[in-house]
């Protein structure tokens, strides 16, 4: 089966399109397979190498830095070729996938001898056994153990309200996770940023769409596919087929849109694995609005899982992650990426952490057991797609043993919390008999590959023991032959050796060669090879023994492989229970790790509820605090209260002024991160925290151009600010750092001014606003929920000392020149800057601002209703309805229904 992208993908390497005339049979076969796999590089197996030809060869040699050679001619021209050794192909695949290529792996499907037997011109049968794409990897060597590897499918349909809706389905085949949800087109960017898929599949119509296309093109690996993969009328059948069930009822109640995306995802997996179906959990439906919405810019700015430079080190995840298993690390990353909005669910996570904070002995015991437990879900996934090895079977056995140890530790708890109790139930699910069977079957030392044999324990299978004994006995015979031959020939140094070309052979040094080649010894020793220092012989007796050894060895290996398949089938049949146990390990790892972080770094349990509170005492920035600690510096804790009156005397919007380098940005980010950690179900770096559920987190911090999209620094800043002012609700938390600084002073001041008024009057959200425009502090006189705060510094002998303390009030100056002096600007420039500043200050910009605050009508910000455009006329509605149709994505029946609906609308106008 082949994937048929309907557009020339960037990785497309086209073989020549001319008719295949007078080409060698092998080239004919190559071109046929290549044509059936457009858009993919073809790894064409030839002996110990995968070879690439034509454009593929040129692309791969450039991408991998390997030599480009040529082999034969095609249509009179040389055929470019390059190759990678099969043994190291994973490494090359990894590099190609990382660069956005997709690869079709074509294997030899028969022994070359079998092809030769068919005739001289016969070509070895070959077939594509697997398409390697970024979202469908299962090999450990190609995966990052600590992150999920998601394939995500997006389907589009017209929602009941008339607006387009998107159905999303995402799968990690290396862990079997399968989730579906729906979202609006406007939510797509944030949802994708949260899931962070490694590959996205869509219809080519959606890829080229003006609404959705630009968001998709931000992602490196998007694979457009033909419409049939996203056909909603066959979605149910394809899902039933994949899960081998008769009806979809048991597969959770998905919407039609979700089912369409889910079916597309499983169809693609089916195709890339070429018929092997990795077992997947039934699709779990993620209800909309259950997670905190965080747009991509905020996610990037807050450096949740990666820093702005793309590193894991220095991110929030890196700072708090002390999990001991890869699955735990993946789960923690997922939780941070998708904080919850349900206070009950958050409390369940926090209860588990609290239990492990309270009992350090239990926590340590669990962590050391988990540390030794294998990555169960990935081992299981490899086994189920036929790429597992003996060590994966051992992983299953060891995981079940570890489950018993974990249960024994947890039995010490008087009353396990709900999350812990659920994990315990999951750990009891896998059959213990499976572990015992594997224990009986598997040897102590295991080879990596099953084809190496030797992994079944002696005594497990009598027939296997018999073959092995025969093989080993024959080897002993060979050893005794060596002594006998040495005696017969009178050559002490005679040796019997083995290699893959000659098999067993007798070897003597060159000086004894003639003796063995002359009568009478030449009747026994048949000359095979003369090397510089040695001469090699065989004997008929040696040939017979060799055949016996080979037969017994082959039979032993055959039996071992049969046993492997049997054990594999047992494991796959138990996969649901094993997956549940794998998740329980991860949950316990995360809970104990967060408990350890809480104890080590002094984090507290936050109160998360349905209020609009935001009261942090002694708050710290988790990443900066750790960095300072490494340098032996203390972090100065700060409070922040954005709760609505009457609980607090300040205000829901804090306007933070203060000198450069004082710690404004740190303060803003730490409060956003505390809210995020709390809702992800973690303790937080503070001495007390009460947080009313935040539905969306917005930030506008830092400045970077987006030249790739043709946006200047200021444009990026304004686009992000626009999103906030248009979308933030009363439940949102907004942090804005120095908006307006990227343009002329008065333009910037005016924009910042108007933005604060809008946040106060229209959005009514909780917000922190840092600025160098001290004029803005005048606004607090008019806006009752605006509160001025400042970061304290001390001046000492003309220098500025940063105290990093946030206090009520406003800064009178920025100390920019002092900071510039600290940074080493030439003294002449500093002196000149001081005199310019003195002149500017004499003009007193503050006066103007105060006048503005007095003059402007307070409610100059239009209310939401007033800002809304007039309702559309009937004919506009009709035109909108036509525009929203996507004929390429409709079945004939849907198209007909749409046509009737339009006629009905026309009658209403």
Ligand X SMILES: Nc1ncnc2c1ncn2[C@@H]1O[C@H](COP(=O)(O)OP(=O)(O)OP(=O)(O)O)[C@@H](O)[C@H]1O
Binding site for ligand X (CB under 6 A): 624, 628, 635-636, 638, 658, 660-666, 804
Binding residues: 658-665
Q: Which C-beta is closer to ligand X: that of 434 or that of 676?
A: 676
Q: Is 144 left (phi over 0), alpha (psi -120 to 50) or beta?
A: beta
DSSP designation for 791: E
The reply to whether omega before 823 is within 30° of 0 (cis) is no
Indicate if the alpha-carbon torsion angle 479, 480, 485, 487 is positive or negative.
Answer: positive
- Find the distance separating the first CA and the last CA of the chain, reported in whole Å: 50
Helices (H) and strands (E) in the chain, counts: 32, 27
- Residue with smaller CB distance to ligand X, 106 or 734: 734
Pick the closer one to ligand X by CB: 151 or 749: 749
Structure tokens at 568: 């594999």
Number of C-beta neighbours around residue 113 at 10 A:
8
Query: Which CB sits closer to ligand X, 134 or 663?
Result: 663
User: Please, what is the minimum distance in Å from the beta carbon of residue 661 to ligand X?
Assistant: 5
Tell me how far, at minimum, the Cβ of 247 lies from ligand X, in Å: 58
Judged by beta carbon, residue 386 or residue 618, the one nearer ligand X is 618
C-beta of 169: minimal distance to ligand X in Å?
41
CB of 735 to ligand X, least distance (A): 12
Q: Which residues, at least 6 apart from 883, have a Cβ–Cβ distance to it below 8 Å?
A: none
CB contact set of 485 (below 8 Å; sequence gap of 6+): 494, 496, 506, 524, 539
Of the candidates 766, 750, 777, which has an alpha carbon nearest to the alpha carbon of residue 860? 750
On the CB side of 511, CA atoms within 13 Å amount to 4
Nearer to ligand X, 467 or 660 (CB): 660
Query: Would you say 450 or 804 has its CB closer to ligand X?
Result: 804
| Residue closer to ligand X (CB basis): 631 or 868 | 631
Strand-pair partners of 620: none
Known binding residues for ATP: 658-665
Nearest approach in angstroms of CB 641 to ligand X is: 17
Q: Which residues contact 421 (CB under 8 A, 6 or more apart)?
A: none
Residue 393 and residue 567 in contact, taking contact as beta carbons nearer than 8 Å: yes
Q: How far is CA 160 from CA 212, 232, 236, in A?
A: 19, 16, 21
Which ranges of 197-255 does DSSP label H, i.e. alpha helix?
A: 204-207, 213-216, 232-243
610 class by beta-carbon count within 10 Å (0-12 exposed, 13-18 middle, 19+ buried): exposed
Choose between 52 and 793: whose C-beta lies nearer to ligand X: 793
Q: How far apart are CA 138 and CA 86, in angstroms?
A: 17
**Nearest-CB residue to ligand X?**
663
Instruction: List strands edge to edge, sheet with 126-132.
Output: 69-74, 77-85, 49-53, 41-46, 103-108, 126-132
Closer CB to ligand X, 382 or 804, in the complex: 804
Q: How far is the CB of 656 from ligand X (least distance, A)?
A: 9
Residue closer to ligand X, measured from CB, 187 or 738: 738
CA distance 309 to 820: 25
Residue 118 CA: distances (Å) to CA of 115, 487, 627 = 5, 47, 70
- DSSP secondary structure of 183-200: EEGGGHHHHHHHH--SEE
Query: Measured from the CB of residue 637, what is the shortest distance to ligand X in angstroms?
Result: 7
CB of 660 to ligand X, least distance (A): 3
Contact 386, 565 (CB under 8 A): no
The whole-angstrom separation of Cα 778 and Cα 781 is 6
- Closer CB to ligand X, 486 or 833, in the complex: 833
- CB of residue 831 to ligand X, shortest distance in Å: 22
Nearer to ligand X, 409 or 621 (CB): 621
Q: At closest approach, how far in Å is the CB of 774 from ligand X? A: 13
CB atoms inside a 10 Å sphere around CB 408: 11
Q: Provide the minimum distance between the beta carbon of 658 and ligand X in the complex, in angstroms, as a whole number.
A: 6
Question: What does the block give as tokens for 589?
Answer: 């790892």
HEC-encoded secondary structure of 506-573: EEEEHHHHHHHHCCCHHHCCEEEEECCCEEEEECHHHHHHHHHHHHHHHHHHHHHHHHHHHHHHHHHH
Q: Report the nearest approach of ligand X to the CB of residue 207 (Å).
A: 40
Q: How far is CA 5 from CA 210, 223, 225, 413, 703, in A?
A: 19, 7, 5, 55, 38
Q: Nearest approach, Cβ of 755 to ligand X (angstroms)?
A: 18
């Amino acid at each position: 089966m082949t994937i048929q992208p309907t557009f020339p993908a960037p990785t497309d390497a086209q073989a020549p399109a001319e008719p295949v005339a007078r080409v060698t049979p092998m080239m004919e076969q190559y071109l046929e397979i290549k044509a059936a796999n457009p858009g993919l590089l073809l790894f064409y197996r030839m002996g110990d190498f995968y070879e690439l030809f034509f454009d593929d060869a040129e692309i791969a040699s450039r991408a991998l830095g390997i030599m480009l050679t040529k082999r034969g001619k095609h249509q009179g021209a040389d055929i470019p070729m390059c190759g990678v050794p099969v043994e190291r192909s994973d490494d090359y695949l990894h590099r190609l996938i990382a660069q956005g290529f997709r690869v079709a792996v074509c294997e030899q499907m028969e022994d070359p001898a079998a092809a030769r037997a068919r005739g001289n011109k016969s070509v070895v049968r070959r077939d594509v056994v697997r398409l390697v794409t970024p979202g469908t990897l299962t090999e450990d060597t190609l995966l990052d153990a600590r992150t999920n590897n998601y394939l995500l499918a997006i389907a589009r349909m017209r929602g009941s309200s008339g607006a387009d809706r998107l159905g999303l389905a995402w799968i990690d085949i290396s862990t079997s996770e399968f989730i579906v949800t729906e979202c609006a087109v406007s939510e797509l960017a944030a949802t994708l940023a949260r899931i962070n898929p490694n590959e996205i599949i869509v219809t080519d119509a959606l890829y080229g769409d003006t609404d959705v296309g630009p968001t998709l093109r931000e992602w490196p690996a998007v694979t457009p596919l033909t419409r049939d993969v996203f056909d909603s009328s066959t979605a149910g059948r394809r899902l039933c087929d994949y899960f081998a069930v008769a009806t979809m009822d048991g597969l959770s109640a998905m919407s039609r849109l979700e089912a369409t995306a889910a079916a597309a995802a499983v169809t693609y997996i089916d195709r890339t694995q070429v018929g092997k179906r990795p077992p997947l959990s039934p699709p779990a439906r993620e209800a909309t609005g259950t997670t905190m919405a965080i747009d991509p810019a905020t996610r990037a700015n807050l450096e949740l899982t990666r820093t702005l430079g793309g590193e894991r080190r220095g991110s929030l995840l890196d700072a708090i992650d002390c999990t001991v298993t890869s699955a735990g690390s993946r789960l923690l990353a997922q939780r941070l990426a998708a904080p919850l909005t349900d206070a009950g669910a958050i409390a369940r996570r926090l209860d588990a952490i609290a239990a492990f904070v309270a009992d350090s002995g239990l926590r340590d015991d669990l962590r050391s057991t988990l540390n030794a437990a294998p990555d169960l879900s990935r081992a299981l996934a490899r086994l189920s797609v036929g790429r597992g090895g003996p060590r994966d079977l051992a992983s299953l056995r060891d995981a079940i043993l570890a489950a018993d140890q974990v249960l024994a530790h947890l039995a010490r708890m008087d009353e396990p919390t709900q999350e812990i109790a659920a994990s315990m139930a999951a750990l009891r699910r896998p059959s213990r008999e499976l572990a015992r069977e594997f224990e009986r079957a598997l040897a102590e030392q295991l080879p990596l590959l099953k084809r190496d044999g030797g992994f079944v324990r002696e005594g497990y299978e009598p027939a296997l023991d018999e073959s092995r004994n025969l093989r080993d006995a024959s080897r002993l015979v060979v050893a005794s032959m060596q002594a006998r031959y040495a005696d017969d020939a009178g050559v002490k140094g005679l040796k019997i050796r083995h290699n893959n070309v000659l098999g067993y052979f007798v070897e003597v040094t060159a000086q004894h060669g003639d003796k063995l080649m002359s009568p009478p010894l030449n009747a026994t020793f048949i000359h095979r090879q003369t090397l510089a220092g040695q001469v090699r012989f065989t004997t008929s007796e040696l040939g017979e023994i060799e055949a016996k050894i080979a037969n017994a060895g082959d039979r032993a290996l055959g039996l071992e492989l049969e046993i492997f398949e049997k054990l594999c089938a047992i494991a796959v049949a138990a996969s649901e229970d094993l997956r549940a146990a794998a998740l329980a390990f991860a949950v316990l790892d995360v809970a104990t790790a967060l408990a350890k972080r809480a104890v080590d770094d002094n984090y507290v349990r936050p109160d998360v509820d349905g209020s609009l509170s935001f009261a942090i005492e002694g708050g710290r920035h988790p990443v900066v605090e750790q960095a300072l600690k490494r340098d032996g510096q203390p972090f100065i804790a700060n409070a922040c209260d954005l709760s609505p009156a009457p609980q607090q005397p300040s205000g829901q919007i804090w306007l933070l002024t203060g000198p450069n380098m004082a710690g404004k940005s740190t303060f803003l980010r730490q409060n956003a991160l505390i809210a995020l950690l709390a809702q992800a179900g973690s303790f937080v770096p503070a001495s007390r925290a009460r947080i009313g559920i935040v539905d969306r987190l917005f930030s506008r911090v830092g400045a970077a151009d987006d030249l790739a999209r043709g946006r200047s620094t200021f444009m990026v800043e304004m686009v992000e600010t626009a999103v906030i002012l248009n979308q933030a609700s009363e439940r949102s938390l907004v942090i804005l750092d120095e908006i307006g600084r990227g343009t002329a002073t008065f333009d910037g001041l005016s924009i910042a001014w108007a933005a604060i008024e809008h946040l106060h009057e229209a959005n009514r959200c909780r917000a922190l606003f840092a600025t160098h425009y001290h004029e803005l502090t005048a606004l607090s006189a008019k806006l009752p929920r605006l509160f001025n705060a400042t970061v304290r510094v001390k001046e000492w002998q003309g220098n500025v000392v940063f105290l990093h303390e946030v206090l009520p009030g406003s800064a009178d100056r920025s100390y920019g020149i002092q900071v510039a002096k600290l940074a080493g600007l030439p003294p002449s420039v500093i002196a000149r800057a001081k005199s310019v500043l003195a002149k500017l200050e004499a003009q007193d910009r503050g006066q103007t601002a105060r006048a503005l605050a007095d003059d402007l009508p307070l409610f100059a910000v239009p209310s939401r209703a007033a800002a809304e455009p007039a309702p559309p006329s009937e004919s506009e509605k009709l035109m909108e309805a036509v525009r929203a149709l996507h004929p390429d994505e409709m079945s004939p029946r849907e198209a007909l229904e749409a046509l009737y609906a339009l006629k009905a609308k026309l009658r209403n106008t």
